[in-house]
């Protein structure tokens, strides 16, 4: 029997409590400043913690720093950090020692390399930063990088039900080509976006193509001289009355980053073990219908080398917790006209879908991790019962899901295109919520040049419920 001195026992309890903290909780100082809109303070918190730049969480440091600086209008510096994030994911080298250690501890021991949608959104922010600086050619470079990453994502999955194509990213590429007056490539990008909205997005996320995308597709088809396609899409969209007419002023393309994306937390499952023959152990759970066979060391001469005594155990898995939207809709008011902002990307839904698509892999890795831990525990018990108990405690202490994710991403992205007369113009953003009686308004001033496109991004960080801690 093992006895712990009281101070040692308290230290172990504190260690266990800290090991259960999620990534969200560990970074509470930064997240509270950011969610409250205290961007200067949030940036200062990150600046004080530059040592994270060398840690296993460096990717998230680069991403958060990039977002905060972008929202502060520091577009050049923002892109420096986002470029570091991009290069890190491109040049990521697997540390096999850390990977092996994670099988005996937990996946937090490995470096975070980002979810599929996060690796795309890096370039979304970079492109928008360049657009805000009027650097269209540099934004197009990010478009080409986006195209490569989209192709890699498509090659990664073969199932049509997987998130492997991104309609909004193609829309963004079209908008950038459009601003460059490269209407041929703009039309191609818009057409690609339309196809993905009509297939993948409608089926997987229940999101159809925005009306603004349809209008942009028709306009660029006409400007490119694709008159047959122009007539075809007018019929398809039931927009027979649409006619292209040149605009004498400039254009405002407005992006609204609404709310905040989900945070990762942890959930666990208690598994019962049903032993099979020949050293095969079936990890089963009737509640969720799981059954995973694993072959473990088995010696007929010495049954203690099998996992015979393993009947119940706990396995931790990651899950997303939504931060529900506070604002439900938005519109731009200018010169007596109202232009509604339309949903183009549900980042929250994509995050949930991406995690769900790889949960089978998560289950397999987690069960292998626990099987190895239990094998080590039983091996230790053969040597010494006290050592076995210590290994068992360590196993419980280290069993943890990977709760890291890019938590400064928006919940959803909306956009619209607004024609503006040349000269000084005032535009009002109107945000509406079912939770308040009065609308929230934000006024913007622009100097509009004929034939030029102005890009504006606005982030509303409000959300309805605190995430699960």
Q: What is the pLDDT of residue 18?
A: 43
Q: 115-245: what fold?
A: 1.25.40
pLDDT more than 90, % of the chain: 54
Residue 6 has a pLDDT of 42
Q: Tokens at residue 39, please?
A: 């961007």
Q: What is the pTM of this model?
A: 0.82
Contact present, 43 and 72 (Cβ < 8 Å): yes
Q: What is the pLDDT of residue 90?
A: 87
C-alpha 5/C-alpha 452 separation (Å) is 74
As a whole number of angstroms, the distance between CA 108 and CA 118 comes to 18
- Measure the CA–CA gap between 226 and 208, rounded to whole angstroms: 24
pLDDT for residue 298 is more than 60: no
What pLDDT is recorded for position 434?
87
Among residues 163, 197, 195, the alpha carbon closest in space to that of 350 is found at 163
Q: Which residue has the tokens 């102005």?
A: 454
Which runs of consecutive H residues, i.e. helices, occur in 72-210? 75-90, 96-104, 116-132, 136-156, 167-179, 183-196, 202-204
What are the Cα distances from residue 245, in Å, to 186, 218, 232, 294?
18, 11, 18, 67
Per-residue confidence at 236, pLDDT binned at 50, 70, 90? very high
The per-residue pLDDT for range 299-354, each reduced to its tens digit, is 555 544 444 444 456 678 888 999 999 999 999 999 999 999 999 999 999 999 98
373-394 CB burial, b ≥16 within 10 A, e <16: bbbbbbebbeeeeeebeebbeb
Mean pLDDT of the chain: 83
Residues 30-45 pLDDT 10s: 999 999 999 999 999 9
* pLDDT (mean) for 264-281: 64
H or E stretch covering 387: helix 385-398
451 and 250 in contact (C-beta within 8 Å)?
yes
More confident residue, 153 or 378: 153
CB 260 within 8 A of CB 461: yes
Q: Can you give the pLDDT at residue 361?
A: 74
Question: Over the stretch 441-468, which tens digit does the pLDDT of each residue have?
Answer: 999 999 999 999 999 999 999 998 655 4
| Nearest CA-CA partner of 212 in 361, 60, 331, 360 | 331
Reading phi first (left if > 0) and then psi (alpha if -120 to 50, else beta), residue 3 is in beta
User: 3-class DSSP state for residue 43?
Assistant: helix
How many other CB atoms are found less than 10 A from the CB of residue 32? 13
CA distance 456 to 240: 31
The helix/strand/coil state of 415 is strand
Beta-strand runs (E) in 245-323: 250-258, 263-275, 280-285, 290-295, 312-321
Closest CA to 59 of 91, 37, 28, 31: 91
Lowest mean pLDDT among 87-91, 154-158, 186-190: 154-158
**Of the candidate ranges 106-115, 122-131, 133-142, 315-324, the one whose mean pLDDT is the lowest:** 106-115
Distances (CA, A) of 58 to 45, 50, 115: 15, 9, 14
Q: Average pLDDT for residues 185-212, to the nearest whole number? A: 95
Give the whole-angstrom CA distance, residue 164 versus residue 198.
Answer: 14
Cα gap 120→116, rounded to integer Å? 7
- Locate the domains of the chain by residue range: 1-106, 115-245, 265-319+359-398
Q: Answer whether 68's CB lies under 8 Å from 43's CB.
A: yes
Give tens-digit pLDDT for 362-397: 777 777 777 777 777 767 767 776 665 566 666 666
Structure tokens at 86: 């991009």
Report the DSSP beta bridge partners of residue 427.
Answer: 444
Q: Report the run of H or E that residue 59 belongs to, with start and end.
A: helix 58-71
How far, in Å, CA of 20 to CA of 99, rounded?
20
* Contact in structure between 103 and 364 (CB atoms under 8 Å): no
| Environment class of 358 (CB within 10 Å of its CB; exposed 0-12, middle 13-18, buried 19+) | middle
Q: In this predicted model, which residue has the larger pLDDT, 71 or 382? A: 71
Tell me: the pLDDT tens digits for 73-116?
999 999 999 999 999 998 865 555 555 555 555 666 788 989 98
């Amino acid at each position: 029997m093992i006895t712990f001195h009281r101070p040692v026992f308290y230290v172990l309890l504190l260690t266990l409590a800290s090991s259960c903290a999620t990534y969200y909780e560990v970074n509470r100082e930064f997240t509270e400043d950011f969610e409250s809109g205290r961007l200067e303070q949030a940036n200062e918190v990150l600046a004080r913690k530059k040592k994270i730049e060398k840690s296993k969480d460096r990717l998230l440091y680069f991403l958060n720093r990039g977002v905060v600086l972008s929202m502060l209008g520091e577009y050049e510096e923002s892109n420096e950090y986002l470029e570091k994030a991009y290069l890190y994911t491109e040049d990521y080298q697997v540390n096999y020692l850390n990977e092996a250690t994670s099988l005996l501890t937990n996946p937090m021991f490995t470096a975070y390399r980002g979810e599929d949608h996060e690796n795309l959104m890096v370039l979304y922010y970079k492109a928008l930063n360049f657009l805000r600086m009027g650097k269209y050619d540099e934004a197009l470079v990010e478009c080409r990088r986006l195209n490569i990453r989209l192709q890699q994502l498509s090659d990664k999955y073969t199932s049509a039900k997987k998130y492997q194509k991104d309609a909004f990213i193609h829309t963004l590429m079209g908008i950038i080509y459009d601003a460059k007056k490269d209407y041929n490539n703009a039309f191609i990008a818009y057409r690609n976006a339309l196809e993905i909205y009509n297939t993948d997005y409608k089926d997987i996320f229940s999101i159809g193509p925005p009306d603004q995308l349809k209008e942009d597709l028709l306009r660029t088809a006409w400007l490119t001289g694709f008159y047959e396609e122009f007539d075809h899409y007018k019929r398809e969209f039931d927009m027979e009355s649409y006619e292209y007419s040149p605009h004498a002023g400039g254009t405002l393309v407005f992006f609204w980053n609404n709310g905040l994306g989900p945070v990762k937390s942890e959930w666990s499952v208690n598994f019962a073990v049903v032993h099979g023959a020949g050293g095969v152990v079936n990890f089963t759970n009737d509640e969720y219908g799981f059954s995973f066979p694993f072959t473990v060391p088995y010696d007929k001469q010495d049954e203690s080398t099998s996992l015979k005594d393993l009947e119940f155990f706990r396995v931790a898995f990651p899950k997303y917790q939504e931060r529900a939207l506070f604002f439900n809709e938005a519109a731009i008011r200018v010169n007596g006209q109202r232009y509604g902002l339309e949903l183009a990307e549900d980042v929250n839904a994509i995050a949930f879908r991406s995690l769900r698509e790889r949960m089978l892999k998560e289950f397999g890795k987690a069960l292998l991790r626990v099987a190895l831990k239990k094998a080590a525990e039983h091996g230790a018990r053969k040597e010494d019962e006290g050592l076995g108990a210590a290994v068992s405690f360590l196993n419980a202490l280290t069993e943890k899901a990977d709760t890291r994710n890019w938590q400064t991403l928006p919940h959803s992205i909306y956009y619209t295109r607004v024609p503006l007369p040349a000269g000084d113009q005032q535009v009002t953003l109107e945000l509406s919520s079912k939770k308040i009686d009065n609308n929230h308004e934000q006024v913007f001033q622009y100097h509009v040049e004929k034939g030029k496109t102005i890009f504006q991004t606005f982030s509303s960080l409000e959300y309805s419920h605190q995430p699960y801690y």
